[in-house]
Amino acid sequence: MPIYNPPLRDMQFVMHEVLNVVEDFKQFPQHADTDVDTINAVLEQGGKFAAEVAFPINISGDTEGCKIDQTTHAVTTPKGFKEAYKTYIDGGWPALSCDPEFGGQGLPFLVNQMFYEMLNSANQAWTMYPGLTHGAYAALHTHGTDEQKKTYLHKMTSGEWTGTMCLTEPHCGTDLGLMRTKAEPQADGTYKITGNKIFISAGEHDMADNIIHLVLARLPDAPAGIKGVSLFIVPKFHVNADGSLGERNGIYCGGLEHKMGIHGNATCQMVLDGAVGSLVGQPNKGMQGMFVMMNAARLGVGNQSLGLTEVAYQNALAYAKDRIQMRSLSGTKAKDKPADPIIVHPDVRKMLLTAKAYVEGGRALNAYCAMLLEKEMAHPDEKVRKDSADMLALLTPIVKAFLTDNGWIATSSCMQVFGGHGFIKEWGMEQFVRDARINMIYEGTNTIQSLDLLGRKVLSNNGATLKKFGKMVAKLVEEEGVNEKMAEFITPIAILGDQITKLTTEIGFKGFQNADEVGAAAVDYLRVAGHLVFGYFWARMAQVALREIAAGNTDPFYVAKIQTARFYFAKLLPETATLMRTARTGAKTLMDTDAVFA
């Protein structure tokens, strides 16, 4: 059976020693009293919930899966899921970072993100039920009317009601402009919505009293394409004026998808048969509200792979220390045993270090982005809000794509550490790999994230936001440029910063002549940008660790941080050389291939 221990020490390092988040919180009137002890205490209890409640039902939930009654369309979640959710509600966890006006605890979003990393390590499939609710809550909190907020947000904050996002349809995938679901206006101001949605995570289940679906649909006079999409609230059960539940609405689960992973989550085909809904925001402006939910979900998906990488690493490390096989190439290490533990072998260490480097770099980026979102939404200074929004827009596709690509690499490597045992279900490793694979696909495939980064976030403003991140790198280089102990961490990002500037200019020039050049380079480009971002955060973490060591701190945590940083810069960041070379090869070898596909 697998193990999981919440990585509280590393979370505390990132929050309090690298980012110094409490100082930032003092700039927010609502967070001015949030201190280190409060954050640590909340996350310690959150870690206990993840490890003791959610984690024990992960493998069993994967084995059992969800079941649908084709007569009633009711969906039953695996054994223990409903009980775990009740414990989650009773502990007040749904309200952690929600607005106090609607019953929330008002803690910073960062705390919720760290808690959710642990939940994702423990049980990604279960965590998706409450996780999607946060996105629906955010969309309604931003774009809902006062009446809609009063009707729905209190129950969503408490966790009594969950939420979904009903976007895609069988024929359109991510191209939502092709959507066909219709919304017919009614005399009472509501709409009757008819259509079919697919791949709706947590679309139907038995864990909450009501499910609040946010549905994209077209009005009768809507323009073609994405500009004709509107957003609607469609509850599973109608809500009476006094807040009680009324009759069942005309939305139901027509079937469950049979999937590679996340078996414990109900991925539904949703049928809307004259379902009654209310408009969110303006007609034909539905993507404004949905993007609030989608962007939150993209950060959440990166967090899912971060959690899976952490739990896979913990299990692979424990196995590598215990499993004995062959002798070390450099001589016997365990003389009292018939073979050495496999952790003595260089390639086993490479696989373990890959996972460790990717999870710790990802954790720093994840925390930084959580702070950016907090500043974008609530900082008292308008310029800070604007700058934070710009930087978060740049980093969101990197969080979604780079962290999920790395999660696939890392969970696969950790399964490899187990050898044949990793392929066997009882160890839990193959489930981590299967669950991780969806994260590269949903919420916009990683190719779409790459196109978004290069096309919309970089080239569309001539690299202005990328230059802002470059200034952060340059500032760190200036601070540590004469520090010989930091040279191995600073020199690579200084060089890569210059290289990515030149690469961006070259691709932009070619893209003006042929847009396929952008499409051909985008995926490679995102990984280069991801490594620049990771390199920056790894350099900052090394900076803190070296200072602690120089000050006489003998905690081996800091030595381990330096050793992992060295591995990252020596073994992982150099992939950028190949990526930049392949990005420059252009579109011709991809597009001039009609004979291949004839």
The pair of structure tokens assigned to 514 is: 């042929």
Residues in CB range of 484: below 8 A, 6 or more apart: none
Question: Exactly one of 117, 204, 360, 443 is catalytic; which is it?
Answer: 443
Judge contact between 104 and 112, C-beta under 8 A.
Answer: no
Question: What is the torsional sign of CA 519, 523, 528, 530?
Answer: positive
Residue 113: partners with Cβ closer than 8 Å, 6 or more residues away: 299, 303, 366, 367, 370
- At residue 380, the 3 state secondary structure works out as coil
Q: For residue 365, which amino acid is it?
A: L
The secondary structure of 573-597, three-state, reads CCHHHHHHHHHHCCCHHHHCCCCCC
Q: Checking DSSP bridges between strand 210-217 and strand 161-166, what pairing results, if any?
A: parallel
Contacts of 304 (CB under 8 A, 6+ apart): 120, 124, 127, 404, 407, 436, 439
DSSP string, 233-245: EEESEEE-TTS-E
- Distance of alpha carbon 364 from alpha carbon 361, whole angstroms: 5
What does DSSP assign to residue 18?
I
- Is 506 tagged catalytic? no
Beta-carbon contacts of 21 under 8 Å, excluding residues fewer than 6 positions away, are 15, 39, 108, 110, 367, 371
Q: Name residue 192's amino acid.
A: K
Amino acid at 584: R
The closest alpha carbon to 144, from 156, 127, 161, 132, belongs to 156
CA quadruple 271, 274, 275, 276: dihedral, nearest 10: 160
CA contacts within 13 A on the Cβ side of 392: 23
In our burial notation (b when 16+ CB lie closer than 10 A, e otherwise), range 441-476 reads ebbbbbebbbbbbbbebbbeeebebbeebbeebeeb
Give the active site residues. Answer: 443
